[in-house]
Amino acid sequence: MPARIAIGGAAGFAGDRTDAAGPLVDALSWFDGPRFLMFETLAERTLALSQLERRKNPQGGFNPALDRFIGPILARCQHEQIRVVGNFGAANPPAAAARILALARAQGLRAPRIAVVEGDDLTKDLTAHDLAARETDGAILRDATEIIAANAYLGAGEIAQALNQGADIVVTGRVADSALALGPLMHAFGWRADDLDRLAAGTLAGHLLECGSQVTGGYFADPPYKVVPGMAELGYPIAEIEADGSMVITKPEGSGGRVDRLTVIEQILYEIHDPAAYLAPDVVLDLMGVTVEEIAPDRVRVTGARGRPAPATLKAAVCIDGGMLGEAEISYAGPNAAARARLAAETIRERMRTRAPDLVVRTDAIGIVSVLGSNGGAPEWPAEATDVRLRFAAQSRDAGAVERLLDEVEALYCAGPAGGCGVRRRVTARLASASCLIERRFVSPRVTMIGGGA
């Protein structure tokens, strides 16, 4: 058994920097022990968007940036025996695996052995009605008839199994983000399903890596209070984990960013509710005893994760059509801009009151009050404002009503107050997502090996 392994976190969401993996591969090459690279690219809605893409193109539905994430590092990962685990398979893991094989072939590489993890898709076994009955914290699905995507968060067992079978690359769809790290740990150290404290430590390692640079100085800078050097070339994280589950979080030498007590704690608590009970498919993680210790520049030791038995159910993310979101903006500038903008907002409100009375319209004055405002009522802004950008937004399944709002804003060009300018409008199809708890008997994950002479 190795003394320790290293896992690099090369992506924290589908739109993350695609060149972050290169410096991680360089750093991992020097690591004395098994090394892995994980990509987390699947936020709640990303999979539903991928499912819609797959309906249009049966060979699509995986992460559209896959080539840019994987292409530049494929050769060196093969050469340095860095094994890759990613949920970039999204709604079509087999197609993503085929794409990676094609990339390897085009680069003249030996065909990698690729494992495809499937079984997260619930739409074949559960109806909209079944899912609605299992929804937690809301009633998004109550009247839903058509489900776009319903996927259970799988655990780390199949990823570990795939690595045990010799996979160079593991492609998954929906798995718990932290499983992308826990899988390699279970494989490398032979942790068993009842090794609860170690499973908890591996889940914590995954949680620290799953958002990429969010633990190494990304989403952190607030100068001069919180200074982050080298934001343009942030180093992405590496976790060096020992067989007992203790770990050091660090980043490639010479890269931008910072790793210290503060960056690590912010990420430990990211998207956590009860810190004594973070639910994952393989274990319930208790963070109350966790300590962090700065042991060297950009090296933080994290210990003390505790585990309790896994929940009886698995979480699933379910997406349905959420109607259309319409947004339109117009600017007023110069003397008395605030009064003219206010008149524009009142004019829109009055027009819409009779023409689409059921549509809730939000009005923002960007730069004055927009982000922290609330849906109700008109914004208030200082009378002396000389550069006001108004934003109107509404959401409905009635596309005509949404378009009507945008038309009314555009009509302010002529029929509104003086000096209105710079109208931009757009309509976006919206997805509504819900969380469900699913009995494990509905979920049967499986691993298929392709390539590499398999």
Q: By three-state DSSP, how is residue 144 classified?
A: coil
Q: Between residues 97 and 320, which has the closer beta carbon with respect to another protein? A: 320
- Strand runs labelled E in 334-409: 362-366, 387-396
- The nearest distance, CB 326 to another protein, in angstroms, is 10
Where does this chain touch another protein (CB under 8 A) — which range of 103-111, 125-133, 151-159, 218-226? 218-226
- Strand runs labelled E in 310-414: 313-333, 362-366, 387-396
Considering only 118, 197, 286, 364, the residue that binds another protein (CB under 8 A) is: 364
The DSSP element (H or E) to which 402 belongs, if any, is helix 399-415
Interface pattern 291-320 for another protein (x via CB under 8 A):
xx-----------x----------------
How far is 435 from 291, CA to CA, in rounded Å?
31
Exposure b/e, 300-321, CB count within 10 A at least 16 = b: bbbbbbbbbebbebbbbbbbbb
**Residues near 299 by beta carbon (within 8 Å), at least 6 away in sequence:** 248, 249, 250, 259
Where does this chain touch another protein (CB under 8 A) — which range of 17-25, 202-210, 232-240, 387-395? 387-395
Where does this chain touch another protein (CB under 8 A) — which range of 15-23, 93-101, 143-151, 224-232? 224-232
DSSP β-bridge partners for residue 325: 395, 428
Where does this chain touch another protein (CB under 8 A) — which range of 31-39, 54-62, 166-174, 388-396? 388-396
Where does this chain touch another protein (CB under 8 A) — which range of 100-108, 287-295, 334-342, 410-418? 287-295
Interface pattern 34-63 for another protein (x via CB under 8 A):
----------xx------------------
Is there binding between residue 322 and another protein (CB under 8 A)? yes
- The nearest distance, CB 282 to another protein, in angstroms, is 19
Q: Between residues 32 and 222, which has the closer beta carbon with respect to another protein? A: 222
Map the footprint of another protein across residues 116-155, applying CB under 8 A. Answer: 137-138, 140
Considering only 71, 373, 419, 452, the residue that binds another protein (CB under 8 A) is: 373
Is there binding between residue 224 and another protein (CB under 8 A)? yes
Q: Measure the CA dihedral 293/295/300/302, to 10°.
A: -50
- Strand runs labelled E in 149-237: 149-152, 169-172
Number of residues that bind another protein (CB under 8 A): 54
Is there binding between residue 371 and another protein (CB under 8 A)? yes
- The nearest distance, CB 391 to another protein, in angstroms, is 7
Exposure b/e, 268-283, CB count within 10 A at least 16 = b: beeeeeeeeebbbbbb
- The nearest distance, CB 291 to another protein, in angstroms, is 5
- The nearest distance, CB 356 to another protein, in angstroms, is 14
Q: Between residues 100 and 209, which has the closer beta carbon with respect to another protein? A: 209
- The nearest distance, CB 43 to another protein, in angstroms, is 9
How far is 314 from 212, CA to CA, in rounded Å?
25
Q: Between residues 92 and 267, which has the closer beta carbon with respect to another protein? A: 267
Q: Which amino acid is at 335?
A: P
Q: How many CB atoms lie within 10 A of CB 232?
A: 5
How far is 303 from 58, CA to CA, in rounded Å?
45
Is there binding between residue 372 and another protein (CB under 8 A)? yes
Alpha-helical segments (H) within 194-238: 196-209
Annotate 54-123 with DSSP letters as a single string. Answer: HHH-TT--S-TTHHHHHGGGHHHHHHHTEEEEE-TTTT-HHHHHHHHHHHHHHTTPPPPPEEEEE--B-T
- Check: CB of residue 94 under 8 Å from CB of residue 61: no
Can you give the binding site for another protein, defined by CB under 8 A?
44-45, 137-138, 140, 219-220, 222, 224-226, 262, 265-276, 287-292, 304, 322, 325, 360-362, 364, 366, 370-375, 391, 393-395, 430-435
